[in-house]
Amino acid sequence: MSRFNFSVSYFSVSSFLVLCSFAPFSLLINGFGNAKPELMQELKLPESVGVAVLQNTPWTALAGDEDPTANKIVKGYLNTLKAQGLNPSEQGIWFQSGASVLVENQGKIPLPAASLTKITTSLAALETWGAQHQFDTTIAVTGPIQNGVLQGDLVISGGGDAMFVWEEAIALGNTLNQLGIQQVTGDLIISGNFIMNFEVNPAKAGALLYQSLNSKTWPADLEDQYSQLKSKPAKPTIAIKGSVRLGDVPSARPIIQHKSLPLLHLVKRLNVYSNNVMSETLSQLLGGPQPTQQKAASVASLPPGEIQLINGSGLGTENRIAPHATATMFSAIARYAERNGFTVSDLFPISGTDVGTLIDRSIPKNSVVKTGTLNEVSALSGVMPTQNRGLVWFSIINRGTNLDGLRQQQDALLNSLQAHWGSPKTRSKSITPTPSVTTSESRLGAPERNVIVPSMTSR
């Protein structure tokens, strides 16, 4: 490659590779003063250096490298939507490979993004707490445990675990049984941010927990859920004499610290099923929609105006995000994952592997995506593998009411573009799931996540 007379101590290797790969030759000549470049030779780099650097820099959007054929395909797509009565100015498109913007329409205009909002929340949560962060629920008592009976109240202090469901409650009940608790003479007291089965009302969430702790009075839906478990745990039996009530009990003695699934598994589940409660809970723990969008915009180096949130889940057309911003945040999440030993496919649904919101979709295989749907919005964003362009980061935001039709047309557009760029023969490591992130503690109902307070083990 060309050799220039400049000091490498002031210029990073990765910056030089990106500049050489995308900058006009005149810039390479003029950008280094009076240096005289030699004839450029073919640059061959191993994937770990070259492709990774170029593919994972899509926050740098350079115009002038548009793909004429891709533009023709997208123009035909937009013309079809226009013929169906949709306004092309309300249809957002962004496709980018490395720093090259391949094709776009209204790319930097904030549009109703529906559940693409969850990309924003996911990025802000991961960057704030880290992928292995767990949310604690404290279980405490107000009296002694004698002969299988808790002489007092059982107190649950929630810490924002939005994935506390039947399986988690059963495991907690079994841990309480192991500590010798079979009956409670007092009440089940709920305090803090306690959520169960995605019920955010603390009294209703408490009632669900009350039911789950005593298998002798399980409702039919819980019995059905238990029957579907592959590995069936013991059925807990804790009879609570009192009722469910709300309140803080500072004097209660902690006996168990229940830890949620690690954050990366919470994020994967909320994105596969596009769970509004989980996403909104994370956003509220971050401080609300404004801190959430500010954190994500800062991390992804986005103009603040490209993200406009009123909540952290995407409910309502007032939540607006530019297609460029969703694709950029998606790639920022991919870079975060790679820095921490896993991939973006461990955080979002994979076409051809995961179901959830991808049921009945025909998105190119191994694409990692996030869907979004409202009554008048259909959206899709993520990364699509190609042979000639490598990883293509994209976003499609449609405004219209024929949701099934819009989804089918989005899938057809992606398949047409992949046919143009080529279908990859092998799967990129950057979008391959990481087996090591799945452990015994990452499954729902894992007893290891109910940590007994040391004072209880010494009794």
Instruction: Read off the pLDDT of residues 108-142 as tens digits, 9 standing for 90 and up.
Output: 999 999 999 999 999 999 999 999 999 999 999 99
What separation, in Å, do the N-terminal and C-terminal C-alpha atoms of the chain show?
71
**3 to 11, 33, 36, 38, 41: CA distances (angstroms):** 14, 14, 9, 6, 10
* Region label for 147, one of left (φ > 0), alpha (ψ between -120 and 50) or beta (otherwise): left
CATH 3.10.20.600 for the 136-260+443-457 domain, yes or no: no
Question: Residue 455: its pLDDT value, please?
Answer: 75
Residue 95's beta-bridge partner residues?
A: 103, 394
Mean pLDDT of 432-454: 94
Q: Is the pLDDT of residue 13 over 90?
A: no
Q: Where does residue 88 rank: exposed (0-12), middle (13-18), buried (19+ CB within 10 A)?
A: middle
Mean pLDDT of 143-160: 97
| 422 Cβ contact list (under 8 Å, min separation 6) | 386, 387, 388
Q: Which helix (H) or strand (E) holds 307?
A: strand 307-308
pLDDT tens profile 59-75:
566 666 789 999 999 99
Residue type, 401: T
Q: Pinpoint the residues of the chain covered by CATH 3.50.80.20.
A: 136-260+443-457
| Residue 56 banded pLDDT, cuts 50, 70, 90 | low
pLDDT tens profile 179-206:
999 999 999 999 999 999 999 999 999 9
Q: With CA atoms as reference, report the closest residue to 184 among 235, 145, 140.
A: 145
Report the SS3 class of residue 67: coil
pTM for the predicted model, two decimal places: 0.87
Residue 320's beta-bridge partner residues?
A: 112, 308
Percent helix / strand / coil, the chain, rounded to 5: 40, 20, 40
CB-CB contact of 270 with 278 (8 Å): yes
Q: Pinpoint the residues of the chain covered by CATH 3.40.710.10.
A: 68-132+265-427
Mean pLDDT of 395-401: 98
What's the CATH superfamily of 68-132+265-427?
Answer: DD-peptidase/beta-lactamase superfamily (3.40.710.10)
Specify the long-range contacts of residues 411-414, CB closer than 8 Å, at least 24 apart.
411/361, 411/362, 411/363, 412/362, 413/73, 413/74, 413/77, 414/363, 414/364, 414/367, 414/380, 414/384
Residue 369's beta-bridge partner residues?
A: 382
